[in-house]
Structure 1
Amino acid sequence: MATRSRRPGNLPAEATSFVGRRRELAEARRKLADGRLVTVVGPGGVGKTRLAVRLAADLARGFRDGAWLVELGKLRDPALVTHTAMAALDLRDQAASEPRELLLRHLRDAELLLVVDNCEHLLDAAAGLIGEVLRAAPAVRVVATSQAPLRAAGEHVLPVPPLPLPPDDPTDQPLERLRGNDAVRLFVERAAAASGDFELTDANRAAVVDLCRRLDGLPLAIELAAVQTRALAPAQILDRLHDRFALLTRGTRAALPRHETLRATLEWSYDRLTPAEQTLLSRLSVFAGRFTLDDIEAVCCFGDVPVERSVELVSSLVDRSLLQREPAAGTAVYRLHETTREYAGSTRSPDGLEQRWADHYLRRCARFAAEGRFRLVEWLTWIEPEIDNIRALLRALSGDVRGAALATSLIWYWITRATTEGARWLDELAPAAASPWTCFVRGFLAVLQRDPGVAVPVLERGVLAARGAGQPDVLCQLLAMTAIAADLAGDRRSAERLLDEAVALSADRDDVGAALMVHQARTLTSLGNGDLETARSAAADGARLSRSAGDLYSLTMMLLNQGFAALRSGDADEAERRFVEALPIARRVDDRVAQCYLLGGLGACAASARDPRRAAQLLGAMEGLRVEVGAIVHSGMEPALSAASASVRAALGPARFESSLREGRRMSRADALRLALREVAAPGPDGPLTQREKDVAWLVAGGVSNKDIGARLFISERTVESHVRNILTKLGFRTRTQIASWVSAPES
């Protein structure tokens, strides 16, 4: 049966109802129809992000490749804007290409809507990237949010005002009409959610209207006030807010500037907290991005905020809408709205909090360095939501020797997730006289980037430093990695000399890391010079050691090399066994470069097994992923892949070969991996579903009629009917209900 792909995009689910903004949504649609960049502009707390995300959700079905959210609010380094965009689009900085080049290549033929949120503190960097994207990708449209325009070419600015205010005298309005006012409706809905039974009545209408007017229709301020209905009636909230505003305006009744209105509301909400809640909220502002309960307890729970009250206090701040909770990889993570974070930071006392924060992340990253290679999935799951805090710490430690040590400790994150970023941090933070381990990590990253001109000299410096310091363990790994770099540079004689020394040194040591590095160097250099027996033997030894040690990254590499050595030796059955063992591991670690090579390897195995169509599809899928990740095929793999491609072309003929290659290139990565592992049959000429058919299937599952599907996708109702018939035929179904079940079933 054909398999579905997840709905393209990464827009967050809306946790609360979306209120109002019909005019702004309609205007934004018009501006996007006229141009390709709309910047939603307004003060903090006015609801720019909610508006942009709702707009994107409404329009996503009209874009073949969906809608994607790039959040810049937590980012402070303009050099990382591209990396942040890549991560949001589920791209990987893991190979030789520069991130900007990879991003533009990915978007060049894409048809998607990009939401770039919170640009105000990175205007030049955000505008520069957006401008390049729009020039390189003609079918991409962008919605940006900012407190100021980007001043980019072709920009259409959409000012977002506060919500429309109700009339000054609510007694002139029927109650039902008042309920239709957006500001009032927002207050009532959030108050009902907070208290469970709040309603707008004749008794409280005057206070609710006055509150919405006093809060200038600012959504964040209204939400903060509405939460207080758990304990206070609207009139009581109004009285207390009046007192707060009177203090700020020296007793006059003049309206405050909107940013002061929001600050006053935050200040009043803060005053309503218990002392422990106030202290915790203030301390939470130390985090640069998202954080977990463990982080809170390690950094913020001391003095009058005891650890045993952490869950209670955090829950209270979430309930009061001062702290936001987000799901992430099975655990709860938290973050502060940027406006709240700024206010909370202004209330913080100098109590050594920054040092506690720095020490916490230094300890965690040191553990990552020690344990990461043997508990890789667990540690990558930890670091991904924490990366903004770690980036902030790297920036804070600029000029401090601990900065280089921290960047070095992140080796397994840089290797699997952020190769170019890691190289940049090490170049910036590490002095010329860096430690041997720092040289090893920088050289390793340069080898992954296929840049021996950088790798060889930095690794040679590391070798000299390790010899001078009498550190045989790191010396052994440095020698092996320098041998790989020398081989990459075409210096076979130096590679052999360095490898011989590494082999001799590792023989006397009981060090898993050193042994694995030596096995990898022996395998790669032997594959490169055609010594297939040595390559098979070294890779097999490395695979056994990796498997017993629980080193998933190294195991994937060893199995991959073992498989290609077997392929080139004519043992396709052995190669397939190794590739099939490696691919689920690469999928679990989410190593895209390894997945790319393994797709090609299994395509070559299919060619040997006289399954040419499946072989061509897998080779096409490899090529598609290779372009996406910027991978460069190692010389030791190239002969097997070239031979497979030639044999499949001969078996299918040029036209069918090219057609099958295109089918593979068009597959999603998830579908290609399933095909490679025989979790699904090779798709025939009528499957899997096209992207447009997937869009229709999702809307069918949502109970949308054919007429409304056509309106949303800008196609005729007759065309929708044709798509539905095709979907039913391809999936072997008879009813729309079966389509809905297929869409909602979890993916394997």
Structure 2
Amino acid sequence: MATRSRRPGNLPAEATSFVGRRHALAEARKKLADGRLVSLVGPGGVGKTRLAVRLATDLARGFRDGAWLVELGKLRDPALVTHTAMAALDLRDQAASEPRELLLRHLRDAELLLVVDNCEHLLDAAAELIGEVLRAAPAVRVIATSQAPLRAAGEHVLRVPPLSLPADDPLERLRENEAVRLFVERAAAASGDFELTEANRAAVVDLCRRLDGLPLAIELAAVRTRALAPAQILDRLHDRFALLARGTRAALPRHETLRTTLEWSYDQLTSAEQTLLSRLSVFAGRFTLDDVEAVCCFGDVPAAQSVELVSSLVDKSLLQREPAAGSLCNTAVYRLHETMREYAGSTRSPDGLEQRWVDHYLRRCARFGAEGRYRLVEWLTWIEPEIDNVRALLRALSDDVRGVALATSLIWYWVTRATTEGVRWLDELAPVAAAPWTYFARGFLAVLQSDPVVAVPVLERGVLAARAAGQPDVLSQLLAMAAIAANMAGDRPSAERLLDEAVALSADRDDVGATLMVHQARTLNALGDGDLETARSAAADGARLSRRAGDLYSLTMMLLNQGFAALRSGDADEAERRFVEALPIARRIDDRVAQCYLLGGLGACAASVRDPQRAAQLLGAMDGLCVEVGVIVNKGMAPALSSATESVRAALGPARFESSLRDGRRMSRADALRLALREVAAPGPNGPLRQREKDVARLVAEGLSNKDIGARLFISERTVESHVRNILNKLGFHSRTQIARWVAGPESTATAPVT
């Protein structure tokens, strides 16, 4: 039967209908067929983002790896453009490789459409990244939106015009006009019963003309039909425009038209709504109702009215509610349109708001630092939508000792989500005032990056600082981490000396964090030295303590180490039990490095019980994830993985081994984790259809010729013929009709005669 898997990508679902733009869409399609970079250029509020998302949605099925949206509007630091792109593509900055290198490696063989939105304030950085992507990834195409061209090589610029303005046409024809349709549809959604009639047609036409066909301005006006007739809206807007134009009838520049519409919409708000909208501009990115109450509700905006006021601003299209992904699916997240944020910021009064914002995020991040290790899922759930606010605060405090404390408090975010970004912030801020915990955080990240050249001296300085400050809790953890770094550098005498002191110091204290770090150091160093009994014992002690403490990150590491120690000791059953316990935890906290090792470990376990095809697929999945994450395989785990690889190669033979390994590399991470946990069966020898073959099969089912399929998918007719041939061979079919019935599903194929 056909498998209808979700198309890869992250394009947002359209919350409202898409109106018009038929000619712009057609022109953009043509330009994207002729070139690989199309920039949609125009002023704020003209609808560039909606056009780009609709275009990408229409074209996504033509790209094996889907369409992906990279939003730069909330970003202010050009150095983080690559990190933002990685996050959008669901890549993880969690290991040794530089983000740009990881991103380009991921895209090199990808066939996808990338939408890079709101580039205008980061033109140089965006153009540089897009240029590198296009050079490194020949099957990637890019749609960029900006108020100005990128001036990048190969760029095709499409200037996005406002919606077509209405003429004095009959009512039926008027309903087909883009600007009028948008007004009518949004007014109907807002009021519930709005219709275009002979009685209001003149006012609607004049409104659309007066608003220059700008979608954002039209939508803001349409919402007002809840309380006002179109003629009343027109009268009020006319007064505002006449004042701005100083009584002349000359047309205003479009940016003035939009600003005047924003001013008019702002003036229609109650005093409390105006104040809150102005204050919301303090947020650098997304925010929640809790943030609003903590930062913006004071004076004449009481917290008790926050829900009502926020709801009202959403209803008036002045504030956007966004569905949050993953674990945040039940949390309402809000943001201001960039144009609205800029305008609202200009209306803000100096009332201590910025300090409240600073204090709020400092408090939350300090709690993250104190509680994050033992409530990791909860705190990662909090910080992921808030990261733009946290980054803005780090930048604001770049010359302040509080900035160093802030960067240090985020250690568990850097460790699990953004290693190289954490390195950047700590290196930039530490010269202001480095505390012992700051040295620990920086050394921890260097160890994760397999960089003992940096880790050893940083941790040595941390040890000296902790001794001088009389802080035994951090001293014990610094000594244990320094022992890991020394062993990584090949300095076993120093590793043993540092670890002995850490063990002695932690033994005198009831400190869970210090004890866990000592267990981790004992385990890793013993694994590296081949002392498997010590490794198994220390990891088992660490796993028990991690479970009691609720430290999911440490528990994953302890189980992982316990499993590899058992595997190298010849106890594959014990190893599999530990890996199977660890993998759901690693999936829950989304630790990609741990997932990588666990896939390989379970592949080695499969090899030991003579399941070579599954073993090869899991080892291949590990290889693929290692490349994606940038993992350098730890020397304590490498022997077991190498041994398993050789045994599987011998069992399958070179050809079958390479084929199964390749199947594993091609799996999505989610599918690989399901296979590792036996939630799905291993694919058969022919495997399922690859995504591109599924794309071709669907278009065959639509009755398209090979030539038409090639044009739709941006590939040659000859390549389509090859895909069709592969589909027929894999499914055991011999006609396009059978492919069409297979795509239709089991009801069709069950009764289909052989043709």
Q: TM-score, normalised by structure 1?
A: 0.94
Question: What are the residue-to-residue correspondences of 1:550-699 with 2, within 5 Å?
Answer: 550-695=550-695
Alpha-carbon contact 1:4-1:689 (below 8 Å) kept: no
Alpha-carbon contact 1:560-1:579 (below 8 Å) kept: yes
Are the structure 2 counterparts of residues 72 and 740 from structure 1 closer, same or farther at C-alpha, using a change threshold of 3 Å? farther
Alpha-carbon offset, residue 535 of structure 1: 0.4
Alpha-carbon contact 2:82-2:99 (below 8 Å) kept: yes
Alignment match, 2:543: 543
Q: Sequence identity, in percent?
A: 90
Question: What are the residue-to-residue correspondences of 1:242-253 with 2, within 5 Å?
Answer: 242-253=238-249
Counterpart CA distance in 1 for 2:746 and 2:670 is: 13
Match of 2:373, SS?
Answer: helix
Alpha-carbon offset, residue 686 of structure 1: 3.0
Alpha-carbon offset, residue 703 of structure 1: 13
Alpha-carbon offset, residue 22 of structure 1: 1.1
Are the structure 2 counterparts of residues 213 and 122 from structure 1 closer, same or farther at C-alpha, using a change threshold of 3 Å? same
Counterpart CA distance in 2 for 1:543 and 1:624 is: 28
Counterpart CA distance in 2 for 1:705 and 1:407 is: 57
Are the structure 2 counterparts of residues 460 and 687 from structure 1 closer, same or farther at C-alpha, using a change threshold of 3 Å? same
Alpha-carbon offset, residue 224 of structure 1: 0.3
Deviations 1:471-495 (A, max 9, x none): 0000000000001111111111100
Alpha-carbon offset, residue 375 of structure 1: 1.2
Counterpart CA distance in 2 for 1:746 and 1:520 is: 52
Alpha-carbon contact 2:7-2:61 (below 8 Å) kept: no
Counterpart CA distance in 1 for 2:517 and 2:743 is: 45
Counterpart CA distance in 2 for 1:192 and 1:706 is: 43
Counterpart CA distance in 1 for 2:435 and 2:747 is: 45
Counterpart CA distance in 1 for 2:114 and 2:53 is: 10
Alpha-carbon contact 1:603-1:617 (below 8 Å) kept: yes
Are the structure 2 counterparts of residues 567 and 290 from structure 1 closer, same or farther at C-alpha, using a change threshold of 3 Å? same
Alpha-carbon contact 1:3-1:671 (below 8 Å) kept: no
Are the structure 2 counterparts of residues 630 and 719 from structure 1 closer, same or farther at C-alpha, using a change threshold of 3 Å? closer
Match of 2:68, SS?
Answer: strand
Alpha-carbon offset, residue 500 of structure 1: 0.3
Alpha-carbon offset, residue 577 of structure 1: 0.4
Are the structure 2 counterparts of residues 205 and 408 from structure 1 closer, same or farther at C-alpha, using a change threshold of 3 Å? same
Counterpart CA distance in 1 for 2:695 and 2:191 is: 39
Worse-matched range after superposition: 702-711 or 405-414: 702-711
Counterpart CA distance in 2 for 1:698 and 1:377 is: 39
- 5+ long unaligned stretches in structure 2: 749-755
Counterpart CA distance in 1 for 2:33 and 2:718 is: 24
Are the structure 2 counterparts of residues 5 and 415 from structure 1 closer, same or farther at C-alpha, using a change threshold of 3 Å? farther
Question: What are the residue-to-residue correspondences of 1:192-591 with 2, within 5 Å?
Answer: 192-329=188-325, 331-431=331-431, 433-591=433-591
Alpha-carbon offset, residue 434 of structure 1: 0.8
Deviations 1:185-213 (A, max 9, x none): 11111101111111111000000000000
Are the structure 2 counterparts of residues 699 and 335 from structure 1 closer, same or farther at C-alpha, using a change threshold of 3 Å? farther
Alpha-carbon offset, residue 249 of structure 1: 1.1
Alpha-carbon contact 2:68-2:113 (below 8 Å) kept: yes
Alpha-carbon contact 2:401-2:433 (below 8 Å) kept: no
Worse-matched range after superposition: 252-261 or 732-741: 732-741
Q: TM-score, normalised by structure 2?
A: 0.94
Worse-matched range after superposition: 429-438 or 251-260: 429-438
Are the structure 2 counterparts of residues 380 and 119 from structure 1 closer, same or farther at C-alpha, using a change threshold of 3 Å? same
Are the structure 2 counterparts of residues 495 and 590 from structure 1 closer, same or farther at C-alpha, using a change threshold of 3 Å? same
Counterpart CA distance in 2 for 1:334 and 1:25 is: 29
Are the structure 2 counterparts of residues 746 and 563 from structure 1 closer, same or farther at C-alpha, using a change threshold of 3 Å? farther
Are the structure 2 counterparts of residues 194 and 734 from structure 1 closer, same or farther at C-alpha, using a change threshold of 3 Å? farther
Alpha-carbon offset, residue 738 of structure 1: 15
Alpha-carbon contact 1:2-1:689 (below 8 Å) kept: no
Alpha-carbon contact 1:329-1:381 (below 8 Å) kept: no
Are the structure 2 counterparts of residues 617 and 536 from structure 1 closer, same or farther at C-alpha, using a change threshold of 3 Å? same
Alpha-carbon offset, residue 34 of structure 1: 1.3
Match of 1:70, SS?
Answer: strand
Alpha-carbon contact 2:223-2:317 (below 8 Å) kept: yes
Deviations 1:320-342 (A, max 9, x none): 10000001147110000000000
Are the structure 2 counterparts of residues 338 and 744 from structure 1 closer, same or farther at C-alpha, using a change threshold of 3 Å? farther
Alpha-carbon contact 2:400-2:432 (below 8 Å) kept: no
Alpha-carbon contact 1:19-1:185 (below 8 Å) kept: yes
Counterpart CA distance in 1 for 2:157 and 2:570 is: 62
Counterpart CA distance in 2 for 1:351 and 1:295 is: 17
Match of 1:157, SS?
Answer: strand
Counterpart CA distance in 2 for 1:718 and 1:36 is: 21
Alpha-carbon offset, residue 611 of structure 1: 0.6
Deviations 1:238-281 (A, max 9, x none): 00000111111112222111001000000000000010100000
Worse-matched range after superposition: 368-377 or 733-742: 733-742
Are the structure 2 counterparts of residues 266 and 183 from structure 1 closer, same or farther at C-alpha, using a change threshold of 3 Å? same
Are the structure 2 counterparts of residues 372 and 700 from structure 1 closer, same or farther at C-alpha, using a change threshold of 3 Å? farther
Alpha-carbon offset, residue 689 of structure 1: 3.1
Alpha-carbon offset, residue 714 of structure 1: 6.5
Alpha-carbon offset, residue 709 of structure 1: 7.8
Counterpart CA distance in 1 for 2:4 and 2:556 is: 27
- 5+ long unaligned stretches in structure 1: none
Counterpart CA distance in 2 for 1:412 and 1:491 is: 28
Alpha-carbon contact 1:2-1:683 (below 8 Å) kept: no
Alpha-carbon offset, residue 24 of structure 1: 1.0
Alpha-carbon contact 1:2-1:730 (below 8 Å) kept: no
Are the structure 2 counterparts of residues 592 and 697 from structure 1 closer, same or farther at C-alpha, using a change threshold of 3 Å? farther
Deviations 1:341-385 (A, max 9, x none): 000000011000000011111111111111111111111111111
Counterpart CA distance in 1 for 2:744 and 2:455 is: 48
Deviations 1:282-308 (A, max 9, x none): 000000000001100111111111111
Match of 2:334, SS?
Answer: strand
Alpha-carbon contact 2:2-2:742 (below 8 Å) kept: no
